Amino acid sequence: MSQEVRALQPKEMWNHFADLNEVPRPSKKEERVIQFMVDFGKQCGLETVVDEIGNVIIRKPATKGMEDRVPIVMQSHLDMVHQKNADTKFDFSKEGIKMFVDGDWVKAKGTTLGADNGIGVASIMTILASKDIAHPALEGLFTIDEETGMTGALQLKGGLLNGKILLNLDTEDDDELTIGCAGGVDVIAQGTYKSKAVPDTWKGFKVGVTGLSGGHSGMDIIKGLGNANKLMNRILYQAAEEFKIRVVEIDGGSLRNAIPRESFAQIAISSRKLKAFKKFIKAQHTILKEENRTTDPDLKLSIEEIATPKEAIDGRFQSNLLRTIYGCPNGIHRMSPEIEGLVQTSNNLARVELKNGKYSIQNLTRSSVDSEKYDHARSIAAVFELLGANVVLEGKYPGWEPKPEASIIKVMRGIYKDMFKEEPHVNAVHAGLECGILGTHYPDMEMISFGPNIKGAHSPDERCQISSVQKYWGYLLKTLENIPKKG
């Protein structure tokens, strides 16, 4: 299937992307892709460095006639979100992504595509390997673990890079130039609970909330998409109130930075209440479908009978847990009062796990205002502390303050207008880009982020637009030609 992708234009870039997608590269397990990049750099005959944390830096001198231009850094992250549909059989640790072309889009079969940020990586590889593309002296910076903690960017040392302008290739709309982003912090609540025996006359069921749209918990939070963890909790709460169900297990969501698409719960219920319970589930399915018909048209609420569990969580703890999750904020907390249409602060209830006497609930709180980020995170922590949970705030990373007067922004704005006869959208985004962190190590470096159209990132619906890649590629090449002169 990747052969039809390899035939696309620009051919060299798509081939590098296909090569990259044959390498398993989940966050925190990037050993193979790091070696892949080292081998690539050496094959190109270029200076290749791996720093202490695992970031790869490949240096290439300026092409003839470009020696007087400001040296640049081109940066993308190596890791990708590994997420698949529940009915997709795929081993991310062993298999390459199965890509295919669907009209003007490149997609993957039931999994994430890895265009975030593989298109950026492939773009830099193409420039580094080229013999005829004009560019100033450049460093390709390939960071690790962006998706689950930005560890690579956080631990990159100052003084390692020589470039004065950084081109981050991790934006997902081809008419946008991003010059600022939100910071984030994980709010993780954990604890233990006691179980009690389930009567022999009761029945076991597995409840599923599936088919939601999902998406990036920063870029897509403004869309009001359904959150499977919140919807599952709503069902369990009402069922507990009306039918006295007992919860056995919960497994909802997958990744901290993905809006949850699926949640599953195992429950026990009295045999005498089965008929009414099934009728309740059917009615709730209709209600949820109607409420989410625009944002999540494929939503499904299902039940299937399972073996009667021997134990379920204690009734009092169950009541407190479901109330706590109900009270946990999710979605937009505040819009920016200064930038129209920009989400300023939000929370994503990303992961709910409950099994074998332990529970863990993970949130990702974002804000472009650091003080508000921590205030919202503390308010969420307080909710779970009332449950008796041990709550920690970790994975903190700063936002990126816009500097609209930077020379590279002016240059790229002018190029875009000349090429496409319209103004680009110069904006800040409600997502975590590594520029904010890199700026703490290199405060005098000018930075900008851009890229082609990528939709549904962090979900199995991820797709990359072919015509947009061609537009972006031409824009990138023109930008490299017009990097300002030194001094």
My answer on whether 366 and 438 are in the same domain is no
Is the separation of the CB atoms in 240 and 227 below 8 Å? no
The domain boundary residue, chosen from 397, 428, 452: 397
Instruction: Establish whether 305 is a catalytic residue.
Output: no
Q: Could you give the number of structural domains in the chain?
A: 2
Q: Which helix (H) or strand (E) holds 316?
A: helix 315-327
* Cα separation values, 282 from 46, 105, 212, 303, Å: 62, 36, 17, 9
258-259 and 215-216: which strand pairing?
A: antiparallel
pLDDT at 292 over 90: yes
pLDDT at 391 over 70: yes
Residue tagged 């009567």 (tokens): 199
Give the domain range for residue 84.
Answer: 2-182+399-481
pLDDT at 320 over 60: yes
Q: What is the mean pLDDT of the chain?
A: 96
What local confidence, expressed as pLDDT, does residue 228 receive?
98
* Residue 333, beta-bridge partner list: none
pLDDT at 2 over 80: no
**Average pLDDT for residues 301-318, to the nearest whole number?**
97
What local confidence, expressed as pLDDT, does residue 113 receive?
97
For the four alpha carbons of 2, 116, 475 and 17, in that order, the dihedral sign comes to negative
DSSP states of 364-415 as a string?
Answer: EEEESSHHHHHHHHHHHHHHHHTTT-EEEEEEEE--B---TT-HHHHHHHHH
Confidence of residue 144 (pLDDT cuts 50, 70, 90): very high
Name the nearest CA neighbour of 90 among 453, 346, 460, 483: 460
My answer on whether 306 and 281 are in the same domain is yes
Q: pTM of this prediction? A: 0.77
Whole-number CA gyration radius for the chain = 24
The C-alpha atoms of residue 25 and residue 437 are separated, in whole angstroms, by 22
Catalytic residue (one of 146, 186, 262, 446): 146
My answer on whether 237 and 125 are in the same domain is no
**Average pLDDT for residues 341-348, to the nearest whole number?**
95
Query: What is the tens place of the pLDDT at every residue in 50-103?
Result: 999 999 999 999 999 999 999 999 999 999 999 898 889 999 999 999 999 999
Instruction: Establish whether 146 is a catalytic residue.
Output: yes
* Cα separation values, 124 from 47, 57, 457, Å: 15, 11, 20
Catalytic residue (one of 30, 79, 145, 170): 79
The domain boundary residue, chosen from 357, 378, 397: 397
The C-alpha atoms of residue 95 and residue 156 are separated, in whole angstroms, by 30
Structure tokens at 166: 């950084």
**Average pLDDT for residues 36-41, to the nearest whole number?**
98
Query: What is the tens place of the pLDDT at every residue in 181-222?
Result: 999 999 999 999 999 999 999 999 999 999 999 999 998 999
